[in-house]
Amino acid sequence: MSAECVPSSARERAAGMSGDPGAVEGPLEGYHHETYVIPLPTVSTAVAGPAPVRGKCREPRNGLLWFDRRCFASEEALLLALQGRLTRIPDLLEVAEGVRLQRFIEGRTLGALHGSGEEIPDDVADQILDLFRQMARVTPPSLEADRVCSPEDRPADGDTTGFLERLICFAEERVYRENVTRFPGLYASFGLDGDSFHRLREHVLGLRRRPFCLLHADLHRENFIVDDRGGLWAIDWELAMLGDPLYDLATHLYLMRYPSARHDLMAKRWCEAMEEEREGSSNGWEEDLPRLLDFKRAQSVFTDIVRATQLLDSRPGAGKTVLEQEATKVHRALTAAAEPLALHPVPPLSEVRASLSHWRRT
């Protein structure tokens, strides 16, 4: 039997839990986990409701490079702690003694209905803002969920400068330094070096204080599910943290790629909603939101470079089309982050392509 045909341990576990290997769906797309969807006929209707229910059976992928810091010990434990506090998040279903699975949310991703850069319906925007409102109510002292981040990664409530500094440190230490020796000369060919983070820190100086709350930290179109009644569900809370609420807005705006008018409207409506929930949550947003968006642009440069090398490394026989696609992504990221990283000039696409091609041959 070829390696491709050998079932993974995650699939075998899913098949065993479902009792019907033919009913296992997956693996689903996802970076952090190998995930399968299985029917849960043993879950009582008193718990699951009258409709058939399915669960997510998953295992962490091996050898992952983490591009974002993890705050909570377990996504499932976090979701359990948030039941009754946030609406339309996955609940946990007990399938055996001491074994809980996330309920699989039936529906379509927001991205499947309205792709990146496209407008979204007003009722969807309303539901996204409702989610931000609910998260504003979840303050650090009120959330009982085990955390794994170090004391240094837990700045005092309102210390937005300290919060962002720890995110910059993670990008510098875990994404840049841990990979720079793996790709000799590659970062430098794009005008990036250790001083890039010094320039970034100078660029984002001066954040105003804002009260901390729960952040999803990854609210993009593929992490929203629209059910058959039009309800919007937020999934994949793996990267959730406690911190600056404006950072969550910046991450959301950056990942959603809204049309310009919707981008501006969401920012203004977010400020109104958050101030109604918790005064001070939008302090200094007009000056600080551009700074936080620039951090997201700078962060993406380093992650996009690593992801490009991973893809090219995993597909050694890939032709010029794949190389061109990855070079274009990296060049686009460099161009977007030119100001916060002081990249003057940005290397042209031809040089980015040549650098990636040279790295692939070495």
pLDDT one-digit tens code per residue, 203-231: 999 999 999 999 999 999 999 999 999 99
pLDDT at 61: 67
Quick one: pLDDT band at residue 39, thresholds 50, 70, 90? confident
Sign of CA dihedral 258, 238, 248, 232: positive
Quick one: pLDDT band at residue 34, thresholds 50, 70, 90? confident
pLDDT at 1: 35
pLDDT at 5: 45
The answer to whether 56 and 35 have CB atoms below 8 angstroms apart is yes
Task: Locate all alpha helices (DSSP H) within 213-319, ordered by sequence.
Answer: 245-256, 260-277, 285-314
Q: Rounded distance, CA 92 to CA 141, Å? A: 23
Quick one: pLDDT band at residue 4, thresholds 50, 70, 90? very low
pLDDT at 212: 99
Instruction: Please compute the mean of the pLDDT values over residues 167-193 and round it to a whole number.
Output: 92
Percent of the chain having pLDDT more than 90? 68
Quick one: pLDDT band at residue 354, thresholds 50, 70, 90? very high
Instruction: Please compute the mean of the pLDDT values over residues 301-306 and round it to a whole number.
Output: 94
pTM: 0.91
